[in-house]
Amino acid sequence: MWNMGKWMKINLPKDMVELIDRYLNTDMAKERGFVSRTDVVIAATRMLLERDGMYKPRPRLEHLNTYEDHVKIVDNEMNRISSVYFKNGQAYCDLCDSNECLHIDYSYTIKDVLDALERHGYSIPKPKLKFKI
């Protein structure tokens, strides 16, 4: 749940809000995970502030913790935590509900994960997807 004490309201011109609403109905917005006007405005503001050197973004993916059978990865773009499980020679990401995604590829770049997989006799595949950390 959001802490509303950390939020402030900003007014936008009606025509800008209508453009944002039209954008939210596009496949591009859905692919980027935008579901609200706030999502779009925050992303646009971050891009502007980053471009002008006022905002340093966090990396897209960050290693949170490694366990015996899985690793937790923070996805800062989605504001979610992914658990990548390793079982029977395969990896599975609970966030993407997939055996092939950027969270899995990222997990193969984490030394603790590579060491644990090696100890358990897993062969380490080359990442299939290209991603920007």
> CA 29 to CA 12: how far, in whole Å?
19
Task: Give SS3 for 99.
Answer: coil
Give the structural domain span for 24.
12-51
- pLDDT score, position 65: 95
Q: Tell me: do 66 and 108 sit in the same domain.
A: yes
Paired with 71 in beta bridges are 66, 84
Beta-strand (E) ranges in 60-102? 61-66, 70-75, 80-87, 90-93
68, 37: one domain: no
Q: How many structural domains compose the chain? A: 2
Whether residue 24 is found in the same domain as residue 74: no
What parts of the chain have a pLDDT lower than 70?
1-4, 127-133
User: How many contiguous H segments (helices) and E segments (strands) does the chain have?
Assistant: 5, 4
pLDDT at 73: 97
Could you tell me the sign of the dihedral formed by the alpha carbons of 30, 78, 54, 12, in that order? Answer: positive
69 and 42, same domain (yes or no): no
pLDDT of residue 31: 84
pLDDT of residue 127: 65
Residue given tokens 């899995």 in the structure block: 104
